[in-house]
Chains A and B, each alone.
Chain A
Amino acid sequence: MFTKLFAAAALAIAGITLYSGFTQQGAMVLRQENQDQYWARYDTAPSGRYRGGVWVASPDRSAYGSFRGGGPGAGK
């Protein structure tokens, strides 16, 4: 009984992850307003968004003076 449920769960996990990985669900889709599925790689954040299929840079894109690097001294 339980083994059937577990086997079904394993198949479901495999199905979902194979689909998402091979069809690149985490990628940025050009000209698509809804980017909810976007999964950043190496903390690379989108610096804009689509409005009517046109990429609009975020207003804070040029305001990068606040950026501080990491390292053991960061965040203190």
Chain B
Amino acid sequence: MQAKPETQTTGRFVDWFPYLPWLTLGVMLLSLIAAAFLERTLISTNVTVDPDAPTELQPIQLKKEPFGALRIDVAASLPSNQWVTYEIQVKDKDGKILASGIKQAWAESGTWAEEGESGTWAEDDLLGGLDVRTNQAEPVTIALDVLEYSDTAGRELDTAVPFQITVKNGVVDDRYLWAGVFGTFAIAFITLFSVSSTGKMVMNKSNRDSDVTGRGTMGGSDRLLRVVVKVKSDEHSPRGLNVRLTMNDENGEQIYTKTYPVDVSLSKNEGRVTGGNSTLTKFFILEARGSYGFHVEVTPDLSIDRTRILIRENARTLYPVEVTTIKTADVH
């Protein structure tokens, strides 16, 4: 048996699918920007509405649109401690109500005192909105009606209520788009992290010592092996360790050995080191499929609590990586 390790950087095993959700996220963000260019403001005005006397805006022409809808946004202006129930109405050319929506708006404020502290608070909920789509072209009139107007004590008020009304056409509902942005963003992240767990686990050995040994059937010229060594060290852990990885063929003969320096990520509690973790990830192709033995030895070994080796076959990568190919010249 003669081993010829050969290391080169290759993009052969790159999985491009994790990049697709990020591209999708980009499209979602672009469509949010594009949506803003589709809308046109038709009316933007301030009106005052007397209770039970609807105020009408100028008629507008409505027609079936491929994108967006007619959006009516209303903001009531209320002094503190008043409530108003108002109705947004869409009327046809004969003045009959085609659609309407009710909003219960309020503005309240007061003082609070608790455990010797005190202050003021003010809250309100004044905005209302109706999105309307139609399947036929027709002129419509938007009207605003005040159904009930009172103060917090329940006394009815008979004065006019000021409103700010904005009517836009071609408005895209960005709540769906934002849902899409967050959805694709979450998936994009998950996909990114799922790449390292691609493939079939062919070895998962752990040992409460500074070395671990395992043997398994693996290999093949198209099968990328992701070899991960995880080392747990105690509170006396140095900042760096050396991990020696050795491979043996089916006859127990050594075909590969190399020592890799790894950085230890120290966990601390109140400034004192409580332990350390280090990870080594290496990629291999064992051209001839067969039984292979792996041996890991970590030095200096004094502070090592646990050593673990995990090997996945048919692994994929996110970007081009260094792959060591081991050809075993068969002498049988």
Q: A6-B21, A24-B172, A70-B123 are in contact. List 5 more A-B contacts (CB 8 A).
A: A2-B197, A14-B180, A27-B132, A41-B130, A69-B106
Q: Contacts of A64 on B, CB cut-off 8 Å?
A: 85, 104, 147-148
Contact B188 A10 (CB under 8 A): yes
Q: Given A18-B180, A55-B97 in contact, is the A4-B17 Cβ separation under 8 Å?
A: yes
Complex-state Cα separation, A3 to B198, whole angstroms: 8
Complex-state Cα separation, A17 to B125, whole angstroms: 28
B183 interface contact, C-beta 8 A: yes
Contact A22 B106 (CB under 8 A): no
- Size bracket, chain B contacts: 35 or more
Complex-state Cα separation, A62 to B35, whole angstroms: 37
- What mask results when residues 105 to 148 of chain B are scored 1 for a CB within 8 Å of chain A, else 0? 01110101000000001010101111111111000000000011
Complex-state Cα separation, A18 to B28, whole angstroms: 8
Closest to B121 in A: A72
B194 interface contact, C-beta 8 A: yes
Q: Given A10-B187, A41-B129, A71-B106 in contact, is the A47-B28 Cβ separation under 8 Å?
A: no
| Chain A nearest CB, measured from B190 CB (Å) | 6
B10 interface contact, C-beta 8 A: no
| Chain B nearest CB, measured from A2 CB (Å) | 5
Contact A13 B187 (CB under 8 A): yes
B87 interface contact, C-beta 8 A: yes
Q: Helix, strand, loop or mixed for chain A's interface?
A: mixed
Q: Contacts of B131 on A, CB cut-off 8 Å?
A: 24, 26-28, 41
- Size bracket, chain A contacts: 35 or more
- What mask results when residues 67 to 106 of chain B are scored 1 for a CB within 8 Å of chain A, else 0? 1110000000000000101011010000011111111101
Contact B129 A42 (CB under 8 A): yes
Q: Contacts of A65 on B, CB cut-off 8 Å?
A: 148
Contact B20 A30 (CB under 8 A): no
Q: Contacts of A17 on B, CB cut-off 8 Å?
A: 28, 176-177, 179-180, 183
Partner of A61, one of B21, B102, B136: B102
Contact A28 B130 (CB under 8 A): yes
Within 8 A of B (CB), among A9-53: 9-11, 13-14, 16-18, 20-32, 39-48
Could you give 29 example pairs across A and B, Cβ below 8 Å?
A: A6-B21, A10-B188, A11-B20, A14-B180, A14-B183, A17-B183, A18-B31, A21-B172, A22-B68, A23-B67, A28-B101, A29-B135, A30-B90, A30-B99, A30-B135, A31-B98, A31-B135, A41-B131, A42-B129, A43-B103, A43-B104, A43-B128, A45-B101, A46-B100, A46-B102, A48-B99, A55-B96, A65-B148, A72-B110
